[in-house]
Structure formats: C-alpha cells, structure tokens
Structure 1
Amino acid sequence: MEDVNVPFVEVHYITIQQVGNVPITKGDFQSLPHQVQTWLAQMIQLCAPRAVYICDGSEEEAEMVTNKLVERGTLTKLTKYENSYICWTDPRDVARVESKTFIVTNNKYASIPHSREGVKCVLGQWMSPSDMKQELDDRLPGCMAGRMLYVIPFSMGPIGSPLSKIGVQITDSNYVLLSMRIMTRVSSEIWKHLRHNEEFVKCLHSTGVPRPHTQKIINNWPCNPEKILICHFPDIRKVISYGSGYGGNSLLGKKCFALRIAGRIAYDEGWLAEHMLIMSITNPKGEEKFIAAAFPSACGKTNLAMLTPTMPGYTVRCIGDDIAWMRFDKQTGELRAINPETGFFGVAPGTNMKTNPNAILTCLKNSIFTNVGETADGGFYWEGLENETPPGTEIISWTGERYKLGEDKTKKSSHPNARFCCPARQCPIIHDRWEDPAGVPISAIIFGGRRPEGVPLVIESFDWKHGIFLASQLKSETTAAAEHTGKQIMHDPFAMRPFVGYNFGHYIQHWLDFEKDPKNKLPKIFHVNWFRLDENKKFLWPGFGDNIRVLDWIVRRTNGEDIAEISSVGLIPKKDSINLQGLIVDWDKLMSVPKDYWKDDIEETLSWLDGQLGDDLPHDIRIQIEQQKQRISQIN
C-alpha cells in the first residue's frame, strides 16, 4: 500500500531553516536520514503546522516544554515532589477507544479472522485502504494549523540492541512529547542508527484541533472526541492517531507500536511481542529465575512486577511491567526478553503502600499524573490512598471539585483509569539487567485473569500446546481501561484481545509453531487466578506479597520438582506443596475444579473461539478443547 494520500515532496530545495514555507525552530532537517526527510516533508505539507521542532530528548528541552505547559495551565506542579506534575484531561478523553481502532491491509483476513456469519468480531477491526483514505482525507489536511509539529525520534528497547526497533513520532501535543520521553528512549542518537537501517515505524499523531479553535477547549486539553481514529498499517509499519491526547491513543510507542505493529513485525521475523511483565525471583539459595506474565488490565500486573515478597529470603526484581519482546536465541535456544519501554504507565486508583509500595516509591519524582486528585498541599491523591492520607485533607478532584477527605464518601477524586507515568530507572527494585541489550532468559510464562469462581489458584499446562490453549481461553472481568462498563467476564486470549495487529488465528498458530524448532527451549506455561471468591464474595487468596508463594511453586516446577498432580484442567499443586505458613486458606475451595462449572466453561469457550476465529482457529487448539472435554467428563 502506498504512503498516506500525500503527493511526493521533493526535498532538494529545503533549507535547514524551513521546509517549504514552514520554519524549523529547532534541529537540522538536512542532517536527518533521507527516508526521514522524505516522510517528514510529506507530513509537514499534509498537516500544515506553523513550525517544526525536532526533539533531541535533552533535559533542557523537557524543562522548556514543561514550563510552557505550566504557563498554559495544562500541567500543575505538585509542590510536594521533585519535578512532578498533574494533568486533567477533557472528561471526554479518558480511555482506550477500541471501537475506533483499526488495522488497515489490502487483504481483510490478514488483519482479522474469518469469524462465523452473524458473529461480531472483537479480535481486531479492519478497514480497507480506500475507506481509510477517505476517513483520513477528512481529518488530516491542515490538522496542525497554528500548532507546533514535534518530531520525536525514539527507540523501543536499548538503543542499538538487536532486539530493539526504532520509531519516529510526529505530534502536535507537547504533553505527548513529555510522556514519550518517560516511556521511550528519545535521543538524537536515533538518527545515527537509522543511517544504517532503512526501516523505522512511522507514527503520526494529532489532537485534531487546529488553530484558531472552533470549539471550546476544556482543561487546556485539545482533543476532538467525535472524530477520534486510531489506525495501523502493519504492511508499511505505520500508525496514525487522530483526535485523542490520552495514553496509548497518543503515546504511539505504547500499545500501537510495541504490540500491534511490533506483533506483526515479530510474526514476519519469528519472535514475540507480548502484553507481559518481566520479573526475576531469587530464592533463599541465591537461584534466580526470570518470568514473563500476561494479565488483562487491572488484574495486578504492575503489582506483580514490583512484588514485595512476604516469604523471607526471597528477592523480586522488576525488568518491566507491561510489554515484553521475546526471541529464541539461535545459539542457545533460550527465550530471551527485553522490556521495550523505559517507564511505567500504571493505573493509579488502588495503588498504595500495601498493594504496591514500589510503584508509589517510583513515582515520587520526575513523574506526570493524569486525572488523579490533588491535595491542597500539592500532593497526589486517588482512591486507595485513604489510609495514607489524614482525614479532613482538602482534595481537589480531577473534575475540579473541592471536598474534605472522609466527609462525603460519595466524592471521587480520580477517574477509574487515572494514570501515573514515571521513569522505570527510579523503581527501587529495578533489575540491574533491565536494559541488557541481550535480554534475560525466560523460564516460565504465566497467564491469568480475574475469575471469581471455578478456576484454581494455579494451573500448570501439560505441555506447550496445552499452554497455548490455556492462553487462548483466557477470560477476565472487564476493567476501566477500556470502554466497557459493568462487571462481566470477557474473553481476552493471551491478554491481547485489543492489541494484536494481524489475524488472531495466525497469531495463535505463530505461538504453536515455536515448538517445531527442536533447538527452542520452551518455557513452562502456567495460569494463575488471585481473584477466586467464596460464597460470601470474599477473596479466597490474600494476594499481593503472598503471591510469592505461588511464584515459588512455579519456580520449583521449572526445576522439575515433583510437587504437581494431574487434574482435568492441567497440573495443580499437590496439597502442602505451596508454603502457606502464617495464612488461613481453604485449600480445597481454592484448588477445586467443579465439574459443572468447567463443563459449561469449555462449551462456552469452544463456541466463542469458533465464532470469533472460524476456520482460522488452529487445529491444535480444537484438539486441546476436545481433550479437555473428555477429561472433564471423567471428573467424579
């Protein structure tokens, strides 16, 4: 597919000072790699900004942009902390917009599976190139009029690592520039690497509010909610986002590049781009193992990545809390993982010194908080910090409402999807190898979700194919990170339902295919469920730091310890094989596999997977489903 609807622009007449009649206020256009010059010239002609600013990622640059946003009122300094700021968005721009997120390819079924007739596909949305061109023609011409166009060179992963990829984002939001500096490696060094590598991911973002404004700007937050569109062109490695300034809608290095586009690159090149944390666990003997784990939003992924163990002698170190890029080493066969990001973009409500002390300690400086409350003395506040904030403290909510803590329980300080954005290097337990360009070796992969009934605390897969099946049938209660409302159990295979940039059936087959290479040392695969409830709707498992007890069992299984027994749904812990010292736990309820529940569950799983994927559902998964049906039928 050709580049987006812009005539080719000859660049020979461009001076260092301007592109056409658009001035360059910072940076040297002519020193950029040729392929960047060509694309940038096209985008300048299309978006018609008042000027162009080529970013270098420096502290001086960040200070200048921050001061400008404070003067404008977009950011407010949190005086209790060093170099930290709060931002309140337009209330219409607060979450991911899956319904307006598209994959664009010539072949529809390269993007989405052959869903059964009458079934609405929720595993990605496709739009044809011609239809998308119409949509973009309606939005992009002149979309940055009166605004600065920022050019952000960034690396996902350590700069120069063979596991890393380069992107260039164009944006008219300097809030996005500040956030991208935290979440990715923004540096002029990128240009040197691009001279030896033609490929980079093109990322174009506009808030969709050219000047002069024709609409009221709320909270100094430009956005165009009625026209939001986020589109991915995996064949040409491009993302275009319009209308939203929020989170992954605008920080295009995050889900758009790091999962949807990188996932397609990984498919083409033979590796994995996954919605996974990476952590290490060191036991009292000094043995360290690295684990990757995938959970849907609000299932405790960041909490697990920064776990504070309750068992003495255990140490946890964090490599990443959200995304893992993983490749099997051609020499050793080990699965090696990097965290392509440099920051944490975590859900704030519910995060506190009990649930995740390391996250709190990480964001006490150099951080941006979005849609949280502010205390009258210049601190951050959100639901979950009640026990750490004195009653009577005056709170200013994200909607500007003032109230005193404890006086009115109906008041909410923060949006449920409010975020903290902070540098990973500040995490007290960041691993000293978190930026190792060779990555870290993965011994176990964990999948999990919020399952209030029926699902045991931990299941180990029988083998690689069964593990892929466990990931394919992953389900969880819905969260505030997406547009859904109300608590319902939703399918979220691999915790990747909104994030796969190509046919989901091909994605599952891609996982299965790694077994074909005998050199690959396949990690063990597990499923965990911290959220099972008893008949009184109380959690059966304490969670948080006590999850180390389950991780310890998992690590011991990777060492081949005989501490598992066969159940109809996988291998589960033998009684007393998990250290429960100091806990009161109903083991039988926690580990039970109710026949009726699982009988209904496997039928529903088959119906859903078959409806969504149709003939693209890999044959190996259909076999796994039939085998599980047989095992469940044999439960007494």
Structure 2
Amino acid sequence: MTTNPNLLTPFKATKADVESSSLRQISEDAFYVINEVVTRRLGHIPILKGDLHDLPYKVQRFVAEKAELMRPRGIFICDGSQHEAEQIISKLIERGMLTPLAAYENNYLCRTDPKDVARVESKTWMVTPDKYQTVTHTAPGAEPIMGHWMSPFEFGGELDSRFPGCMAGRIMYVIPFSMGPLGSPLSKIGIQLTDSNYVVLSMRIMTRVNPDVWEVLGNNDFVRCIHSVGLPRPVKQRVINHWPCNPERVLIAHRPSEREIWSFGSGYGGNSLLGKKCFALRIASNIAHDEGWLAEHMLIMGVTRPNGKEHFIAAAFPSACGKTNLAMLEPTLPGWKVRCVGDDIAWMKFGEDGRLYAINPEAGFFGVAPGTSNKTNPMAVGTFQKNSIFTNVAETSEGRYYWEGLEDEIKDKNVEITDWLGNPWKLGDATPAAHPNSRFAAPAKQCPIIHPDWESPEGVPIEAIIFGGRRPDGVPLVFETFGWHHGIFTGACLKSETTAAAEHKGKNVMHDPMAMRPFMGYNFGKYLDHWISLEKAPHKVPKIYHVNWFRKSKEGKFLWPGFGDNIRDTAVGVIPSQGSINLDGLGDINWDELMSLPADYWKQDAKEVRKFLEDQVGSDLPNEIREELESQEKRIEAL
C-alpha cells in the first residue's frame, strides 16, 4: 500500500487550492493516515463536543482543513439533540442575544445589527472558470441580473483576505444536516461550519440536523458550507445587539462544480443559513441540471376538492407575494381543503411512472413576519406558537411578539412595546415597530395543516405549476398557458414589485424570471434549455398557469378580495369567461376590469419583454422560447 506524501504536509490555503477540488480528493489507500493528518492540522484546537474520528474521513478532512484555515478556539460537533439546544439557548440568553418571549412555550426574540437585516444580492457570487457557466451573453452594456460571476483567481484573493484566522476566539460548530427527508432518494446531505450559535439554532429548525446523517452519508460526497460572522476575537469594533457581523466585508460565494459555499460577514437569514437559498437553490439547481431534475423557488400544496380527489400544485412567487399565505390557505368554500407540503422551495424529479414528484427540502418555515396575523394567515400563526425564533420583530411588555399587521390583536392599546431597535414604541408611531424584513423561523411539523405526506421519501405528484407576481396593472387574475414551452416562456417573463427581502428600495416592478432572479445557480439560457429538455417520453409534464392577486383598480384598490376565496372550479379556456367562476359572497367584483387585457399595456409590455430577453439572455435564449416570444407578439398585436 502506498501513501500520498502531500497528506502529511502542513496545510496552507492557496489560490491553487481554491481553484481546484484536488484538495478534497483522498485515495482509498491513504485512508490509514487520516487520523495523523487530522491531528497535525488541528494542532492545539480542542474538540469540545463529539469525536471527529468517528466521522466519515471526507468530513474529517474537510473539518481539519477549515479549522486550520480559520483557527477557532474549539470545535463543537452538533448532534441535533434537545439537550444541545438547551445548552446553546441558555448561553445566548445569558449573553443577551436571545430574549425569551414569556407568553409562549420556547419562543425567543433576537435583534441583529441594523446593518445586517436582509439578503445582499450585490455581494453574492457564483465562482466558475468560465464566466458564461454563470451568466448569459448579455447585450453590450447590459448588466446581468441573473447571477453575479467571479473568477476562481479573484475568489482566491477574496478568500485569502477574509478567512484566515476569521474564527479566532470563537467556537467552530460542525452541523450535519439533510435537505429533505433523511435517506430519501430526492434528498441531499450538507455539512455547515459556522461560528454563529444563532445559525446553529436556526439550522436546527430549517434543516434536519441529526447524527444519522453520518450513516446516510457514508463515503458519498456532500455539500460543503463554510460560514463565519467575520469578527475574530479580540473584537476591535463595537458589537451592536450582541450580534457579531462585518457588513462592510460581506461575501457569499458558491463554487458549483465543487459543491461548496463560502459565506463571510453576515449572520442573517439566507446569508448564513446556507441550507436555504445557497444550497437549496443555487447549488441544488446545478446538481439538478447534472442529474435531470428541478430545484425551484416554489411552494408545494395539496388541494382536495369536495369529491375527495386531491391535486398537488407547485407555485413560484417572488418574495412577499403571498407564497406562504397560499401554501397555508384556508378555503371558505364548503368541501374544499388545502394542506401544506412546503412554503418556499421544491425539489422535483420525474418518477418511473412519468409523473413529476416533489419534496420540500426544508424542515421549517422562514417567513416574513409583518403582515402575518390570524386574519391573513392563521395557519402560520398556529405554527409559530412554540419552539420558534423571531428576528428583528418588536416585543410587548407581556412577552409577546409584535409587528405591523397585529394592531387589531392588541387588546390593551396602552401596552408597552419595544421596537426591533430596542427603543420604546407605541401604536401610531411613524417608524415601524418591526423591520419590514423581520422573520419567524418555525418547525414545519407544527403547522396545523401540514400534509401527512410532507416527509414522504418519494415526494408528492405535481399536476400543475403556477407562476405569479405582484402586478398592480394590466395582468389578469388567472390564465392557463398554451403548453409546456409557452409556460416556460411565461415563467421567464415573470415580473413583480420589489420587496424588503433584499436591499432594493421602493416599489418598482422588476423582472424576476421563474421567481429565481436572486437564486439562479447557472446560465439562465441553459436553465431554460434544461426545463425544455424535460418534456420527453415518458415524462408527463404538468400544466402551467399564471396568476395575479394584486391587480388594482383606477382608485388603487385591489380587485380581488383575498386568498381565502381563490380556490374555484377549473374554468374552460385560457382566460375564464364571465360566469365560469363562482363569485358568491365576494361583494362587488369588477369582472371586466379584473380579467381584461388592455391593448396599450400589453403592446408596451411585449416590447419591454423582447428588450429584456435580448439584453439579458441574448444568444443563450433557446429557439423554443424565441418562437414563443414571436408568437405572443403576434397575438398581442391583434388585440
């Protein structure tokens, strides 16, 4: 048996290491030296919990390499147990990062640094050798909106300037997690390293953190997730709200071919919970492309008709367009029932019977708090009554959470409220009590209408796909696309008003193709090609629809009254004719305005769509989508 002498040399990250995955390739005949390698690389870094040598050797190597690079004061291998959570929670309460919400069971409030409150799309990168693996061949002067590219060489420099020693004085937590039901053929394994105990607690809610991951993993590969708040000790700057971060140095980088994510400087949301958008969409869409399935920004819901027949639907909406509300809908029509499988992400793969099956890869809901109430989404409220974390919301003196939209639920109008910045606040104040992007993280299994098959290893069969956005003008309530290619074209043209989930300001209508604009993992033209390629025998592709709940009248009022009455018998035709949808009990509905296609609006929209596709996708636009564009232009011209 021979050994690889390079395994025994001291580790030092170089640009060549960053550009190559060879650092992780361990031959089987070198296995016997792994303990010595790990010991050498860890040096004096103690293992505070767990036994590193019990883990698969690829994981040992990964942990040892990154520990030597980031130099934590200790390594804590998470097991996902309740005892472990209680230990971490107690420490965070003692430090002041978490505040128990006394009115609930095991609910906690966290306030972040005000500079670390949302996704930072402008600092999120895909690292590939070829630029056009990541972005399309845009028109001259057009800035790509579907992904940001960074060369491996440039990334090497960015890594070298941030990560060496970045965990000094902090604990490095090793989080084993499964995206999707543990052991499901549709699931994937990830290992996240982080120096944030808030991230540990949140990942426990949002993913399946379990020591059984090691057994399922075996010698297979896994997605490598490296995260640091970017503030080594001793800290030389003021830490606000006990929330360490480094907002000026934020970097979120993905290496798709290496199945690797590096995140630095932010402790918030999708920037740090790397199983969410980074893994479940950007990296997973690359894996899905390679393996022939779909990783999409979609809810999954089961809708049961009065005759007892259930239909499963996947739906893509940009952030804050009511996706969670729709996933947890309570129909008001007798006999109809909705059950939630997932509220944000769908992994979908065609089965042997030709049908498209979907799983929710997440284990929790990470929802926008403002606007969520017993009136708008009682199922979400029922979900987060216990075992949940609330970030950047307000707190009442009674130990309750508070945010905009809960005004009617405050019984004592004189109750004392502390806003998300820690300042006294009262009803009627001009400033918001909660940050517009404040969040709740709650276990999905607590949802009152969670589907009994939500963790089925096989997934649930998808019969329809819905695209929708927040469109105040021109776009009708609902229409069915003409077929698979037209449905893909419709998804590619998706638009919506911007939201507080990202750093964009104001209410501008922006393109958000397939609701994947901030989460695209590779060249958008190739992504469309991938969707097109799935229409082949024996695949039975679902029907595709477009909806718009947010159309307004000339007076600025919503024309459609609410989610509770959106479940209706299927209408015949592309756009339902008047009388084909039951409107009883909905009040005065201006049907003609709600379903109209204003000729001037759509002609202008057609020009804008062509410009968008030519500027943003250019020569990468598939011929099938170009043909759909031309066909739609002819139909609109005839309006």
In the alignment, structure 1 residue 229 sits paired with structure 2 residue 251: yes
Assess if the C-alpha contact under 8 Å between 2:101 and 2:401 holds in 1.
Answer: yes
Partner of 2:3: none
Partner of 2:75: 52
Counterpart-to-counterpart distance in 2, 1:348 and 1:485: 19
Counterpart-to-counterpart distance in 2, 1:451 and 1:252: 30
Counterpart-to-counterpart distance in 2, 1:174 and 1:423: 18
In the alignment, structure 1 residue 498 sits paired with structure 2 residue 518: yes
Partner of 2:577: 574
Deviation string, structure 1 residues 71-122 (Cα, Å, up to 9, x no partner): 0100000000000100000000000000000000101100111111110111
Structure 1 spans left out of the alignment, 5+ residues: 554-562, 566-570
In the alignment, structure 1 residue 420 sits paired with structure 2 residue 440: yes
Q: Structure 2: which amino acid aligns with 1:455? A: V
State which of 481, 488, 493 in structure 2 corresponds to 1:461: 481
Shift of 1:574: 2.1
Partner of 1:4: 18
Deviation string, structure 1 residues 237-293 (Cα, Å, up to 9, x no partner): 000000000000000000000000000000000000000000001111111000000
Partner of 1:429: 449
Q: Structure 1: which amino acid aligns with 2:564? A: G
Shift of 1:18: 9.4
Assess if the C-alpha contact under 8 Å between 1:14 and 1:20 holds in 2.
Answer: no
Q: 1:98/1:15 Cα in 2 relative to 1: closer, same or farther (>3 Å)?
A: closer
State which of 151, 160, 163 in structure 1 corresponds to 2:183: 160
State which of 570, 588, 599 in structure 1 corresponds to 2:603: 599
In the alignment, structure 1 residue 77 sits paired with structure 2 residue 104: no
In the alignment, structure 1 residue 346 sits paired with structure 2 residue 367: yes
| TM-score after normalising by structure 1 | 0.95
Indicate the larger mover: 35-44 or 139-148.
35-44
Secondary structure of the residue aligned to 1:616 is coil
Q: Structure 2: which amino acid aligns with 1:343? A: G
Deviation string, structure 1 residues 162-192 (Cα, Å, up to 9, x no partner): 0000000000000000000000000110111
Partner of 1:266: 288
Partner of 1:369: 390
Partner of 2:404: 383
In percent, how many aligned pairs have the same letter? Answer: 61
In the alignment, structure 1 residue 190 sits paired with structure 2 residue 213: yes
Assess if the C-alpha contact under 8 Å between 1:16 and 1:24 holds in 2.
Answer: no
Counterpart-to-counterpart distance in 2, 1:2 and 1:339: 37
Counterpart-to-counterpart distance in 1, 2:43 and 2:121: 37
In the alignment, structure 1 residue 25 sits paired with structure 2 residue 60: no
Q: Structure 2: which amino acid aligns with 1:124? A: G
Shift of 1:19: 2.8
Q: Structure 1: which amino acid aligns with 2:183? A: G
Assess if the C-alpha contact under 8 Å between 1:48 and 1:143 holds in 2.
Answer: yes
In the alignment, structure 1 residue 564 sits paired with structure 2 residue 567: no
Counterpart-to-counterpart distance in 2, 1:70 and 1:604: 52
Shift of 1:461: 0.4
Secondary structure of the residue aligned to 1:260 is helix
Q: Structure 1: which amino acid aligns with 2:18? A: V
Deviation string, structure 1 residues 304-343 (Cα, Å, up to 9, x no partner): 00001111111100000000000011x2000000000000
Counterpart-to-counterpart distance in 2, 1:420 and 1:398: 13
Counterpart-to-counterpart distance in 1, 2:609 and 2:489: 10
Shift of 1:2: 6.1
Counterpart-to-counterpart distance in 1, 2:43 and 2:37: 6
Assess if the C-alpha contact under 8 Å between 1:279 and 1:305 holds in 2.
Answer: yes
Counting only pairs closer than 5 Å after superposition, residues 4-403 of structure 1 correspond to structure 2 as 4=18, 11-13=34-36, 19-195=42-218, 197-329=219-351, 331-390=352-411, 391-403=413-425
Q: Structure 1: which amino acid aligns with 2:193? A: I
Residue correspondences, number:
614
Deviation string, structure 1 residues 548-601 (Cα, Å, up to 9, x no partner): 23xx43xxxxxxxxx333xxxxx1112211111112211110000111110110
Secondary structure of the residue aligned to 2:567 is helix
Shift of 1:13: 2.4
Deviation string, structure 1 residues 431-474 (Cα, Å, up to 9, x no partner): 00000000000000000000001000001000100000110000
Secondary structure of the residue aligned to 2:529 is helix
Secondary structure of the residue aligned to 1:578 is coil
Partner of 1:556: none
Partner of 1:625: 629
| TM-score after normalising by structure 2 | 0.94
Partner of 2:4: none
Counterpart-to-counterpart distance in 2, 1:613 and 1:5: 27
Partner of 1:543: 562
Shift of 1:368: 0.1
Q: Structure 2: which amino acid aligns with 1:580? A: L
Assess if the C-alpha contact under 8 Å between 2:41 and 2:65 holds in 1.
Answer: no
Assess if the C-alpha contact under 8 Å between 2:299 and 2:323 holds in 1.
Answer: yes
In the alignment, structure 1 residue 611 sits paired with structure 2 residue 615: yes
Counterpart-to-counterpart distance in 2, 1:315 and 1:585: 24
Structure 2 spans left out of the alignment, 5+ residues: 1-14, 25-32
Counterpart-to-counterpart distance in 1, 2:40 and 2:369: 43
Secondary structure of the residue aligned to 1:90 is coil
Assess if the C-alpha contact under 8 Å between 1:376 and 1:395 holds in 2.
Answer: yes
In the alignment, structure 1 residue 404 sits paired with structure 2 residue 387: no
Q: Structure 2: which amino acid aligns with 1:538? A: K
Q: Structure 2: which amino acid aligns with 1:4? A: V
Secondary structure of the residue aligned to 2:231 is coil
Counterpart-to-counterpart distance in 1, 2:147 and 2:37: 40
